[in-house]
A and B are shown apart, each in its own frame.
Chain A
């Protein structure tokens, strides 16, 4: 297949794609702080009750949370495609291995891992499973000897979507105004080329309608300047949703650009696939670095270092407290001595949060009521 060359900043080089480069005016993006996710699945249910409550969508989770390293929805989505792609390498910040488009088999557009029916049937198999056996007599040490972490996932509304490039009839399109990738429900004919091709397995087949569906990036909310359902309903306040620029146009006061480009703390999921995904993750600090580097690229070590120093890093700390503090999408933010502020597109203040919550210590004995206070809520 004759491929086009497109610039992929996550790989630091030009990479192969089916269509010529055409970036949207704005690019939808989402950031997850993996150090804070507790896998409560409130995001999954917020998404489900909003978008996928119909017949044929029973086991369909546009947003899901899986336990790493062993969990996966569909089962083995990442292990399957990584095994097919084989050992690949980075040279500094530049990816010198092959992307999925570059590793395509003869007569194919992209390297594929096919998930079977059974793989979709257990949305949360392996939840809370750890990476190693807990021995008899084990006690907690720091850092933990045994690790696991939760990985919340949505469609990455990739800059170079595999699903879009795979569709033989152009039923999938990327919106120019916000970069959201959609399956045209009237045009799809259920061929499932997108289901085969998306390496993140975020296009799904609906057996009731016989066509494919995917996360719509909550575009009706985005159009109103609000963040997605999975973001605004997150009780752990681990998510932020907004627009990300390309690194050359990075705006220091844009919260997404600040974390992704300026500080390089939020990293793309499996950038080596070559689709330039727009789901970014603050890596968990307790997970072995080789695993994180495979998942988030070579920037993982530095990201963790910066995150660990957040307590002495006023701007970063300020921005992190804005996570989960508002429904509206922020265009810019500002951090003063004790207060973090967020602004919308027009520059109006949307949110104002104290960086350190004021703490009041009360006496153990309440003289007025003549009783002892308990510190349990």
Chain B
């Protein structure tokens, strides 16, 4: 009996070592150096044809409740190039339905790239951890549609909706009828509270930080990542572009010749995926900036 326990313990220890050894060995992606202006690279530019994509497997988020029973996007193709000043990531994945319009029960197609703010000690790959923040670049199809057709409103969501009159939208002019937009916005709670989701933004990619699940916070006023997104023939192609070095200390900083941990998430709007109901990469990968 004792012998059995000793053997079992040894086996467990060995298994444990194997696991930890495996965890340290990251999948390696490469950001290839190219001589072109990466800050302007688009989703269909020639340069991507010369870059072999890495097939990043995705799995259902299974650490925090509610967990999706399944996710529809199981794989995302990743490519990256840089020019020594800017870095670009091209993500593409199959998605049969375009979900970029806002409605009560419409969820947006989305994708996010996550980096640690500091590599050492490395935060957990799932949303970081207390005092070890991660920096997240989050693209939502909603925002691409906003950029294309103008900021979506209740009128674009429900063109046949009826309403008699909004507060302060007087049809007759006279004393007390002149109200500023800020005064009118008091009746639009998200705007009155300054929620970043309620306002139009310059870029389609939102920058956020997190120190664990449920702590995601928009980096207000920071929009260093530009992007372009195209949905065609059941496929999304999204390009994220940003400078290697930015002035914000809490943002990811890339250095030529160095490796940076990286993780991915994808949401399929038509499957009501949102928040923790998402497809995620199983662990940190590493990207080497050539």
Question: What is A's interface to B at a CB cutoff of 8 Å?
Answer: 1, 53-56, 58-59, 105-109, 114-117, 120-121, 166, 168-170, 184-186, 188-193, 195, 204-211, 213
Contacts and interface: CB of A to CB of B under 8 A. Distances in A.
B187 interface: yes
Q: Is the interface of A mostly helix, strand, loop or mixed?
A: loop
Nearest to B275: A191
B9 interface: no
Contacts of B152: 207
A108 B195 contact: no
Contacts of A207: 102-104, 152-154, 157-158
B189 A185 contact: yes
Given A117-B104, A185-B189, 4 more contacts: A169-B215, A185-B190, A205-B105, A207-B103
Nearest to B151: A208
A170 B65 contact: no
10 contacts: A55-B187, A55-B188, A109-B65, A114-B105, A117-B103, A117-B105, A169-B216, A190-B197, A208-B190, A209-B188
B65 A116 contact: no
A54 B188 contact: yes
Contacts of B13: none
A209 B214 contact: no
Given A54-B167, A116-B105, A109 B66 contact: yes
Contacts of A55: 153-154, 166, 187-188
Contacts, number: 118
Interface of B: 62, 64-69, 102-107, 142, 152-154, 157-158, 161-163, 166-167, 187-195, 197-198, 213-216, 272, 274-276
A108 B62 CA distance: 11
Q: Is the interface of B mostly helix, strand, loop or mixed?
A: loop
Nearest to B106: A117
A205 B153 CA distance: 13
B275 A193 contact: yes
Contacts of A170: 214
Contacts of A206: 189-190
B198 A210 contact: yes
A55 B188 CA distance: 6
Contacts of B65: 1, 107-109
Contact of B153 (A106, A114, A193, A208): A208
B67 A186 contact: no
A106 B62 CA distance: 12
A193 B106 CA distance: 13
A192 B68 CA distance: 15
Contacts of B64: 168
A188 B190 CA distance: 9
B154 A208 contact: yes
A2 B213 CA distance: 17
A58 B158 CA distance: 11
B213 A210 contact: no
A211 B214 contact: no
A185 B272 CA distance: 22
Contacts of A114: 105, 272
A55 B189 CA distance: 10
A261 to B, nearest CB: 34
B103 to A, nearest CB: 5
B209 to A, nearest CB: 13
A206 B153 CA distance: 10
Nearest to B208: A189
Contacts of A195: 104-105
